[in-house]
Amino acid sequence: MQKDLFKKMGPPLPLSASMPKKSFNGEMTALSWSEFFDTCEDIRVESRKATFRVHRIGKEKGDEGALTFILLHGAGHTSLSWALCAKEMADANCQVFAFDCRAHGSTTSDDEEDLSVEVLTEDATSLIEQCFNETKNQIVIVGHSMGGAIAARVAASGRVPRLVATIVIDVVEALAALPGMHRILEARPQHFPTLEDAINWSIYSGMLKKSESARVSIPSQLVPSNGLTWRTRLEKTEPFWKGWFTDLSKTFLSVKGHRVLILAGTDRLDKELTIAHMQGRFQLILFPTCGHTIQEDDPQRTAQALLQLQTKNKW
């Protein structure tokens, strides 16, 4: 259990009169999803009483070795946190499928309050079953942070067709780290006068390292309210934090198929994962120069790490 799990998220600064009069010296206008994905659609899953916003790039190939990557975002983020990474994968022999979780982004549902790991896992599993029940591609499920916790449980359910690999990004069994979330949430602004202010804050505060990623992902996290405010009120999700990460390492290690853990540093391995890595039970990839949102800070290397699965493994 690591106390600094969220340390590399950066020290968000408040947007206030006391904030230094300094801004990111670069373009801050929003970028459209269409610059990164082929399609954007809303898919209704009646059993979940929810309509999920889905972005895709590439088509199902059905060729030998062709993969579909299903990407799950972290808490407070959206499918567009994968935009730059997905674009890097556009010319490969694969399909990319990313969606907004319940109470995130443009997904709508009858119940926006229950973000328990059971509900989020059933959402993702039901959506995947509906969309890929007859797929010819092999499936790789990838999740960042909270999305990694969901990805591991979806994979462990045994309900994902043709699943060959599970990849979790910058998430370990993080119970000891969760108290640090209060400091981060208390420090970030609750409202922004304009979209440009929000994008500027995300770069200047250290939340994100790449302006292009901020320009496409940050707008999808905001909704109109006294200017702009966060679509997902993370402080209200606190009752579910413990459930997201409890027994995560054990669940991840129980998943069948290839297992990959992508981290910003080896100091984030708990005891169970450290022993399992020494035993060769999963592949570990390190991105020491990245913050918490690895796929946004270094989308090119993240995409390369995902695509190498096609060339290095014979499924």
Cα distance between residue 246 and residue 64, in whole Å: 37
What is the pairing mode between strands 191-192 and 283-286? unpaired
Catalytic residue (choose from 145, 202, 205, 220): 145
- Specify whether the CB–CB gap between 234 and 241 falls below 8 A: no
Q: Tokens 């567009």, residue?
A: 80
Which of 129, 136, 151 is closest to 59 using CA atoms?
136
The kind and range of the H/E element at 250 are helix 248-254
Chain centre distance of CA 225: 25
Indicate if 254 belongs to the active site: no
Q: Within a 10 A sphere around the Cβ of 165, how many other Cβ atoms?
A: 23
Indicate if 267 belongs to the active site: no
Helix, strand, coil: what percent of the chain each, to 5?
40, 20, 40
Catalytic residue (choose from 109, 249, 292, 297): 292
Helices (H) and strands (E) in the chain, counts: 11, 12
Which of 278, 279, 269 is closest to 249 using CA atoms?
269
> What's the token pair of residue 308?
């190498």
Cα distance between residue 114 and residue 134, in whole Å: 30
Catalytic residue (choose from 170, 217, 220, 297): 170
Which of 240, 232, 127 is closest to 185 using CA atoms?
232
What is the pairing mode between strands 258-263 and 94-99? unpaired
Indicate if 34 belongs to the active site: no
Return the sign of the alpha-carbon dihedral for residues 161, 166, 171, 172: positive
Cα distance between residue 68 and residue 66, in whole Å: 7
Report, as residue numbers or ranges, the catalytic residues: 145, 170, 292
